[in-house]
A and B are shown apart, each in its own frame.
Chain A
Amino acid sequence: MNYRAVRAIYIFEMSRFFRTITQSFVSPVLSTSLYFVVFGTAIGSRIDTVEGVSYGAFIVPGLIMLSVMTQATANASFGIYFPKFLGTIYELLSAPISFFEIVLGYVGAAATKALFIGVVILLTSFFFVDMQIAHPLAMLAFLIMTCVSFSLLGFIIGIWAKSFEQLQLVPLLVITPLVFLGGSFYSVSMLPPVWQTITLFNPVLYLISGFRWSFFGAADVPVGISLLAIALFTGGCLAVIGWMFKSGYRIKS
C-alpha cells in the first residue's frame, strides 16, 4: 500500500478546496439561509408541524442531504475529470499506485469537502431553528456514509464524462430531481398513495429517511432498510469503479 501517494492526492485535492475556501463556505451558507427564509419561515408559518416536528426543523436533514449529495458528486467528478481534461492523469497512471489508492485519495478528499459543507449547514441551521439531535453518532455516521457513497458516484461520472457539459448534466438531470423527490422537504406520508409507491423506488429516499431518523427518531422507512440501501449503493459504485480501472475505461488506451 502506497500511503504516501494517497496522502499526496488527498492533500493536493484539499489544497484546491482551501484555495477557494470563501466560495466553498459562503455559497452553502447563503443558500441554506435562503431555504430557511423561504421554506422555513414563509411556508413553514402555514404548515404547523410534520410528524410532530416544526417544519423549519423538519427540513434541516433534507437540506443537509441535498447539499452534501450534490457537493460530494460535484467535487469527486470534477476532481478526477480535471486531470483527465488537462492530461495530468498521465502521472497517476504512471505512478506506483493501485486503482484503490487513487480512489481512496480522490474520494477521501471529495467526501471530506462535502462533510465540511454538511457540518457548516448544520451549524447555520441552528441559527434559524430550535432543535435537538436524537442520535448524534448515527447522524454523523449517516452523513459520512452519504458523503463517501456520493463521492464514489461522482468519481464514476468524472471518469465517464467526455466534456464539462456531461460532467454537469448527470447531477442536474439525475441527482437533483431524486433528492427533491426523495422527501427532502416533505414526509412521504404527505403524498397521494400512488406517489408514495413510486417514491419507494428512489434510493435517495432511504438516505434522507435514515438521516432524518437520526435527528427526530422517526422515519418514512425503517432505519435498517436505509442502511441496507446505502450499503448496496456504495457496493454498486465500488464495483463499477473496479471494472473501470480493470478495463482502463476512458482513461487508458
Chain B
Amino acid sequence: MSAIVSVANLDKTYEGGFQALKSVSLEIEQGEILALLGPNGAGKTTLISTICGMVTPSGGSVQVGGHDIIDDFRQARRLIGLVPQEINLEPFEKVINTVRFSRGLFGKPRDDAKIEQILRALSLWDKKDAAIKELSGGMKRRVLIAKALSHEPRVLFLDEPTAGVDVELRRDMWEVVRGLQKDGVTIILTTHYIEEAEAIADRIGVISKGNILLVEEKDALMARMGQKELQIELQQPLSALPDALSGYALELAGDGRSLTYRYDTSAERTGITTLLGDLAAQGVMLKDVSTRQSSLEDIFVGLVEEKA
C-alpha cells in the first residue's frame, strides 16, 4: 500500500502565537480508515483544516495523491471531501441545490443521477426540496456529508462526525463509510471517543497538544487500551497479600483496606471469577466491589510518560 496523504513536519502557529501543531508527520494509506483520537484542543481540526486548505501552514508540507496542497492545490483538493465539525449551511437554501453547488465548486459536471444516489444513501432524498432551516440537526449533518461526497472524493475527512448525533444516523454513517471504503476511498475521521475509533477504524492515531503520539493498527492499540481495574474494598485490612494470591496482578492499597486488580477486557478470560473464589478461600471478606475503565485521559498520560 502507498500513502495517499503524506504530512511532513507540519507546523501551525496561530496569529496569537499559540502553536497548535508541532512538527506533525503522518502517512495515511490508500483505502484505509484512520481515526484521529485526541481530547478537545489537541489540534485535530487544525490538522484537517490545514490539509484541506482553510488554514495556512506555518511550516512543513502536505501531499495528497502526490500533489502538494499549495503548489498543486487544484489537483490536491479535487481528491478531497470534507465534513466539517461545525454545521455550516445556508439556512434558506434547498438541500439539493446546496449539494449541486458543492459538486460544481469542485469542477465536476452536473450529474443528477449521482446526486440522487448520494441523497438516497443518506436518507435525504425525501427532503431534497426542503430548505435547510427546516431540517433537524441530524439531517443537517447528513447534508454536510452529502456535500462532501457530491464530487466523488478519493479522500474523505470527517471531523467529529458523531458529536451530538443520534444512534440511527451513526449507524447510517458507518454504513456509508464502509461502502466508501469498498470503493477504495480513504477515510480520516476525528473523535474523542475510543469506542468510536474501535468500531470503525483500521488504524488509530493519537494526537495530544499538537503532537502525534502514535499511529498504530487498531487491534494492537485496543489490546493496550482495553485495561480495566477492579477495585475491591475489604472488611478487614490486610498487612500483606496472601501467598496463594501472588499469581494475580493484585495491588494492595489504602492501608491494606483495598485491592486493585488490573485485567484486560478484550482477553478471553478476565480471571475475575477465579480471583473472587480464591479470595473467599483465603477467608478475605469483601465490603464492596467496583470497576473502572481506564479513561482516554489515563491513556494519554500513559502515552506521554512513555514517550518522555
Interface residue ranges, A against B (CB under 8 Å): 2, 4-5, 7-9, 11-12, 15-16, 19, 82-83, 86-88, 90-97, 248, 252-253
Contacts and interface: CB of A to CB of B under 8 A. Distances in A.
A96 B55 contact: no
Nearest to B75: A96
27 contacts: A2-B107, A5-B104, A7-B104, A8-B104, A8-B105, A9-B104, A11-B101, A15-B97, A16-B92, A19-B92, A86-B88, A86-B90, A86-B91, A90-B52, A90-B54, A90-B88, A91-B102, A93-B54, A94-B52, A94-B80, A96-B73, A96-B76, A96-B77, A96-B78, A96-B107, A97-B105, A252-B55
Contact of A87 (B80, B88, B101, B104): B88
Interface residues of B, number: 36
Given A248-B56, A253-B55, A4 B107 contact: yes
For the residues of A in contact with B, the DSSP-based class is helix
B92 A4 contact: no
A97 B151 CA distance: 14
Contact of B89 (A2, A86, A97): A86
A91 B105 contact: yes
B45 to A, nearest CB: 11
Interface of B: 14-15, 49, 52-56, 73-78, 80, 82, 84, 86, 88-93, 97, 100-109, 147
Given A4-B108, A5-B106, A87-B86, A12 B53 contact: no
Contacts of A94: 52-54, 77, 80, 82
User: Among B75, B82, B91, which residue has the most Cβ atoms of chain A within 10 A?
Assistant: B82
A49 B55 CA distance: 59
Contacts of B101: 8-9, 11-12
Contacts of B84: 87, 90
B92 A90 contact: no
Contacts of B104: 4-5, 7-9, 11
A252 B105 contact: no
A252 B90 CA distance: 20
